[in-house]
A and B are shown apart, each in its own frame.
Chain A
Amino acid sequence: DGGITQSPKYLFRKEGQNVTLSCEQNLNHDAMYWYRQDPGQGLRLIYYSQIVNDFQKGDIAEGYSVSREKKESFPLTVTSAQKNPTAFYLCASTQRWGSGELFFGEGSRLTVL
């Protein structure tokens, strides 16, 4: 079945360590997105990529980095510069840029100790 796979589902890290969250899609979608969700709140956009080899900062990009070397992959690195990294991270894709229907993965929950 086509979809978005995020890994790991749960991740614990010590303060000051960089961590990379994986996002893979087999939907052949052009655009991909990373959102952050804090308890009881909506989703906030971290980074997005309209097409392979391109990405743009979203509303809360500080302390994060991404790459888009392959169409199907859009990994997110949470760096030590991110002040409050503990959160639920969601990856999503759309068929093309300008298509509004987002397809989401199941999320990765990062806890920094």
Chain B
Amino acid sequence: DAKTTQPPSMDCAEGRAANLPCNHSTISGNEYVYWYRQIHSQGPQYIIHGLKNNETNEMASLIITEDRKSSTLILPHATLRDTAVYYCIVYNTNAGKSTFGDGTTLTVKP
């Protein structure tokens, strides 16, 4: 499975955009990028996923570089409730398993 690299922590001001980077330089052509977040002591929650095109939903936007070696999750207007650990995962549909790294702890500050 492709490995992902994320910064261990980031801060963001409330109301500003939070941009969370992820490096996945060994991703294969048929592997997807998935993002989840985990609020303390709860189960992770799915946010968004993509293959090669940029994606947007009601929670966030996902920007994937043209070479697919990195991506950025964008929370357009961060709130205090967005404080969580964010996991970037490369998912292989054949392997059927998601491998979680240590994620990025995002702290949104007033």
User: Chain A residues in contact with chain B, CB under 8 A?
Assistant: 4, 31, 33, 35, 40-45, 48, 50, 58, 88, 90, 92, 97-107, 109
Contacts and interface: CB of A to CB of B under 8 A. Distances in A.
Nearest to A35: B100
B34 to A, nearest CB: 5
Interface stretch (B17-25, B35-43, B60-68, B74-82): B35-43
A100 B41 contact: no
Interface in B5-61: 32, 34, 36, 41-46, 49
Interface residues of B, number: 22
A35 B98 CA distance: 10
B30 to A, nearest CB: 11
B102 A31 contact: no
A100 B32 contact: yes
B93 A100 contact: yes
Nearest to A88: B41
B109 to A, nearest CB: 21
Nearest to A98: B93
Nearest to A3: B43
